[in-house]
Homo-oligomer: A and B are copies of this chain.
Amino acid sequence: MASQASQPSAPDGPRVIVAGATGFTGALAAHLLWRHPDFELVAVTGRSELSRPLGELYPRYRVPLAIEELAPERLQGIDAVVVAYPHAAAAPTVGALREHGIRVVDLSADFRLRSLETYERWYGTHPRADLLGEAVYGLTELHRERIAGAAIVANPGCYPTASLLALAPLARAGLIADLVIDAKQGISGAGRVFDQTTHLSMAGENIVPYKVAAHRHTPEIEEQLALLFPSGNGPPPDLRVQFQAHLVPLDEGEMVSCYVTTTRPVAAVELSELYTQAYAEEPFVELLDRPPGVLEVRETNYCRVFAAADEHTGKVIAFGAIDNLWKGTSSQAVQNLNLMFGLPETRGLL
């Protein structure tokens, strides 16, 4: 029964807290930081389950710390906080942390969008719009340098992570004229929510599309793609992405299938060059010459990417496969923390 003591958190590293550790993504972030060789996980906080060891709620993660309230006095000497709160609930806490000078990786959508107007169209009034300028979009492979120095890292959604990694080489080359993204995700994507969506008798053996014609991840993808478009060419003035998500009966895993109508014909060899150039040096992007399966990236920080030109239609199909809880959320948060504290990007993640 020695597991409690078997993975002591690093005592001399940067001191971090996970706020909102009772949910799936917060708990996983706590697990990854607890076993990380260079961070000291000081506390896990939550609004429920107070004083219960996190390891009771999530036995697999073996984090012995007890859940506590996020009390101001606890913030003394803390270097960073991972905020795993629901959308809109996160911003005020992020604001308070910034006032203590603490760096933040925010897993919510609150600071992902650069355009306040877009944010408010999808989410309503922004609680801390004043902080938008401090936030860097935390898709590591796209914004590595700025993340290293950021005060607030707005960790991307899992769908944008997989989609943008699958599409970035095409976007940078200005090749996207029209875009359909069909995404499939395991039930962990619904989180620690107990209802028909997650009951094994209803979700197992099922495939269910959700949020038809209304997915909040759409503007995040559109905004980031637009940033990638080559400014010389001028981006398509208004790329409207057709994004559709589906729940499929597995736990962790996410596949995005991207169907791109290109601005001009793209041959297989050009496609291959674009992707190789983009990802040859990336430690966590694995470029394949066949379609990936999500099981290949299960419980890892890897994203597997495959792109093909379809001679029959002239379109390009690009796939991105990730673990929605890992690279899609919590391990990418650690990847970002590594950069923010001058550690090798892969530390604790291989």
- The interface of chain A, by Cβ under 8 A from chain B, is 1-3, 6-7, 24, 35, 59-60, 178, 180, 182, 184, 186-188, 192, 194-196, 198-210, 212-213, 218, 240-242, 244, 246, 248-255, 257, 259, 261, 276, 279-283, 285-287, 291-300, 302, 306, 308-315, 317, 319, 321, 346, 350
Contact (Cβ within 8 A) A350 B6: yes
- Output the least CB separation between A99 and chain B (Å): 36
- Output the least CB separation between A193 and chain B (Å): 8
Q: How many copies does the complex hold?
A: 4
Contact among B240, B241, B251, B283 for A200, CB-based, below 8 A: B251
Pick 10 A–B contacts, CB within 8 A, sort by A. A1-B279, A60-B295, A199-B199, A201-B251, A204-B204, A206-B295, A209-B257, A212-B310, A242-B259, A249-B249
Residues of B within 8 A of A194 (CB): 194-196, 198-199
Contact (Cβ within 8 A) A293 B206: yes
The docked-state distance in angstroms from the alpha carbon of A136 to that of B176 is: 41
Residues of B within 8 A of A186 (CB): 201, 205
The docked-state distance in angstroms from the alpha carbon of A321 to that of B6 is: 19
Contact (Cβ within 8 A) A251 B213: no
- Output the least CB separation between A105 and chain B (Å): 23
A307: nearest chain-B partner, CB-CB: B212
The docked-state distance in angstroms from the alpha carbon of A205 to that of B204 is: 10
Q: A1-B279, A1-B286 are in contact. Are A246 and B184 (CB under 8 A)?
A: yes
- Output the least CB separation between A326 and chain B (Å): 13
Residues of B within 8 A of A294 (CB): 205-208
A304: nearest chain-B partner, CB-CB: B59
Contact (Cβ within 8 A) B212 A182: no
Contact (Cβ within 8 A) B59 A213: no
The docked-state distance in angstroms from the alpha carbon of A306 to that of B293 is: 28
Contact (Cβ within 8 A) A1 B282: yes
Contact (Cβ within 8 A) B257 A204: no
Contact (Cβ within 8 A) B259 A293: no
The docked-state distance in angstroms from the alpha carbon of A292 to that of B257 is: 20
The docked-state distance in angstroms from the alpha carbon of A200 to that of B250 is: 8
Residue among A200, A218, A311 with most chain B CB within 10 A: A200
A255: nearest chain-B partner, CB-CB: B207
The docked-state distance in angstroms from the alpha carbon of A308 to that of B210 is: 12
Contact (Cβ within 8 A) B251 A293: no
Beyond known contacts A1-B279, A60-B296, A200-B203: 15 more, CB 8 A cutoff: A6-B346, A60-B297, A60-B298, A180-B182, A198-B199, A204-B204, A205-B205, A205-B250, A205-B253, A207-B294, A208-B294, A209-B291, A218-B312, A240-B312, A242-B310
